[in-house]
Amino acid sequence: MAFDIKEVAPDIFQIDDEVVGVPGLGAVYLVNEDRKALVDCGPTSSADTVIRALKSLGVKPEEIDYIIVSHVHLDHAGGAGKLLESMPRAKVVVHRRGAKHLEDPEKLVASATIAQGIEIINRYGRVVPVAASRLWPVVGGESIPLGDSQTLKIIEAPGHAPHELCVSERYGGVFVGDTFGLYFEDSGRHAVIQVHPPPSLDIEVCLETVEKIKDLRPERLYFAHFGTASQAGEVIGEITRQLHGYLKLAQDAVSRGRLDGLEKVLRERITRELEPLKGKLALYQFVWDYLVSAFVEGFLEYCRKKQKSMIVGEVK
């Protein structure tokens, strides 16, 4: 079987990990230096695909030194425990706030089930816990030298989740996990949408993080969903406008004191934003069924929290 693998910068490979069998949905990145790192690893049900894709690149799973997870959501980190069984020397680099959820995934799975529904959680596969001795909890600011020509830098990146990290590399790219939302390309067009599930979405914090990454002036953004955006400045501008749009939508609804009708407005907005993706039907459908619904809930919960803080006089 041929794998969808691209070399997106020197010795950096983008691998489609075929999340739940949908092509073009989830990307795992391999940084293939003297020491080797994966950035994100997909859910348990993608572990075999990841291992076979690595082998097709001539990399043995035993050679992987780090699995860096952008955050602990199951489609990014759920497969870490399973992969470690074939990667005896690998450490899982994870935000300190997410480490406990990989060690004991019960709460993580429960919260993901509420956000996305049991059907999809089952399709991600059973989450194998990661032993504490194999975790490297980080907070941002750490460097991971992989060899003479590459050092990865960890950047704390809250907003989508409080345990989110971005990772910069020396050729001008930044691995953005879900911090920036989702980016898909089709036939020379691209779609960008914000997908941040409850309970932790905070749009103001998302905007601060996007500014922080923008200040690094990246040339490329490596999206987990999905792929490499080479016009980084343009895409960051688009995402910033989108986040400001959502912030205004939330602020207006909260100041009117009415959240009803918001869901309809959100869905109409997302329909327009996702229009360039319509040619990829399976992907389009998955995004609507499992990701957009989680975002709608996340957004409404964010608005409810804002409304509550207004009532008790703690407006941010």
Residues at the site binding Zn ion, with contacts judged by CB under 5 A: 73, 178
Q: Could you tell me if 136 and 92 are in contact, meaning their C-beta atoms sit under 8 angstroms apart?
A: yes
Q: How far apart are the first and last CA of the chain?
A: 52
Q: Which is nearer to Zn ion, 80 or 254 (CB)?
A: 80
Q: Which is nearer to Zn ion, 68 or 254 (CB)?
A: 68
Q: Which is nearer to Zn ion, 16 or 65 (CB)?
A: 16
* DSSP class of 20: G
What whole-number distance in Å separates Cα of residue 71 and Cα of residue 162?
A: 9
Helix (H, G, I), strand (E, B), or coil: what is residue 162? coil
- CA nearest neighbour of 203 among 261, 145, 247, 150: 247
Q: Which is nearer to Zn ion, 9 or 195 (CB)?
A: 195
CB of 88 to Zn ion, least distance (A): 28
Q: What sign for the dihedral angle of Cα 193, 24, 159, 106?
A: positive
**15: Cβ contacts below 8 Å, ≥ 6 apart:** 3, 4, 5, 27, 28, 29, 30, 50, 53, 54
CB of 208 to Zn ion, least distance (A): 18
Q: Which is nearer to Zn ion, 156 or 178 (CB)?
A: 178
Q: Which is nearer to Zn ion, 205 or 259 (CB)?
A: 205
CB of 124 to Zn ion, least distance (A): 12
CB of 59 to Zn ion, least distance (A): 26
Residue nearest to Zn ion (CB): 73
Q: Which is nearer to Zn ion, 17 or 178 (CB)?
A: 178
- DSSP bridge partners of 115: none
CB of 175 to Zn ion, least distance (A): 13
CB of 255 to Zn ion, least distance (A): 29
CB of 312 to Zn ion, least distance (A): 29
What whole-number distance in Å separates Cα of residue 45 and Cα of residue 79?
A: 7
CB of 72 to Zn ion, least distance (A): 9
Q: Which is nearer to Zn ion, 73 or 306 (CB)?
A: 73
Residue 157 Cα distances to 47, 67, 89, 209, angstroms: 26, 18, 27, 5
Q: Is the peptide bond before 175 cis (omega within 30 degrees of 0)?
A: no
Q: What sign for the dihedral angle of Cα 43, 101, 12, 230?
A: positive
Residue 226 Cα distances to 14, 15, 96, 221, angstroms: 9, 10, 25, 10
Q: Which is nearer to Zn ion, 81 or 177 (CB)?
A: 177
CB of 160 to Zn ion, least distance (A): 6
What whole-number distance in Å separates Cα of residue 54 and Cα of residue 196?
A: 30
* DSSP class of 287: I
Token pair belonging to 55: 């082998």
Torsions phi, psi for 253 (to 5 deg): -65, -40
